[in-house]
Structure 1
């Protein structure tokens, strides 16, 4: 079966390919592998709302079953923000360094004991017959003051998951997949494919 992942993010595509390979035999395609279609902006105020909208669009324009996710970091001291705005927190979509720098500046005076947060991922699977599934995965941890590590992307260099002494950017792909928000959500979806 062919399955579309509604993203152009090659790292996210590789992550889902690794996870799905453990659970099912599907051919995973990204947006660069199908004819281009108009992508609607992420306007929902929840991770779930954005994920479902992107997956519905993928099915509508390609006719393929589609997985889409919306994920980000929810910082306790920022009342759950950047949340759905994680990828564009600095005002420039996808500028990881600017997003991390701004978030760190915003909690710069917050004590270490109050720097908790979570990576959150809502993932939607929509089939051409209209069947929809939405799941959520979370990984709790803390935000450190200086980036460490070069693996991963986004906020990985400043996030230390609960029970670990390293950031998700210091973990191997397999270690991160085993505990990550996206790994948890995608493993739940893999059971539904």
Structure 2
């Protein structure tokens, strides 16, 4: 079975490949966006991660006729009532400017004491079939927000995030460690039985 991954992010693709391989599923061929005819990507104007993941997955399934998996993720800071949330990638006003986003978040949290710096990375993954069936799973990676960036690996808010039970930031973990613990990995793992069922019925 071919499964469209609504992303060109090679890290996301590798993460899903590894999760499927670890689960012993070898009947699924993952197809990145660049391998299908280009289509207009939908506007991600949902109010929640689930809304945006479903918008992307429905568009992919509708445009290609393949089952499609998509995710939306970000960081939720308790002190900011769960923000940046769905606005994580464009928190500073400019989409994908990691440094500006990090600096703004640090400034907003500058006077917040240690005991109130709880945060979590959240990922919602959605699988939508060409017939319109929806399957949604959420993964959370709890931790806290540091007072300054640490580490060179990772991307986004990784340098500011210290996972629960670890003394390092997410940007100081190896890719393997991060994949094993990450919010996206937790969400994808919940969808393995769904993908297995779809492949078996194919």
Q: TM-score, normalised by structure 2?
A: 0.91
Could you tell me how far apart the structure 2 residues matched to 1:78 and 1:71 are? 17
Cα deviation digits, residues 158-181 of structure 1 (max 9, x gap): 111111111111111221112111
Structure 1 ranges of 4+ moved more than 4 A? none
How far has the Cα of 1:19 moved from its partner?
Answer: 2.3
How far has the Cα of 1:13 moved from its partner?
Answer: 2.4
Instruction: Confirm whether residue 34 of structure 1 aligns to residue 36 of structure 2.
Output: yes
Could you tell me how far apart the structure 2 residues matched to 1:47 and 1:63 are? 24
Q: Does the Cα contact within 8 Å between 1:19 and 1:177 map onto a contact in 2? A: no
How far has the Cα of 1:39 moved from its partner?
Answer: 0.8
Give the corresponding residue for 2:84. 82
Give the corresponding residue for 1:142. 144
What count of residue pairs does the alignment treat as equivalent?
193
Could you tell me how far apart the structure 1 residues matched to 2:97 and 2:111 are? 23
Q: CA RMSD in A?
A: 1.2
Larger radius of gyration: 2
Give the corresponding residue for 1:46. 48
Give the corresponding residue for 2:19. 19
How far has the Cα of 1:110 moved from its partner?
Answer: 0.7
**Structure 1: unaligned runs, 5 residues or longer:** none
Could you tell me how far apart the structure 2 residues matched to 1:104 and 1:21 are? 38
Q: 2:131 aligns with which of 129, 132, 136?
A: 129
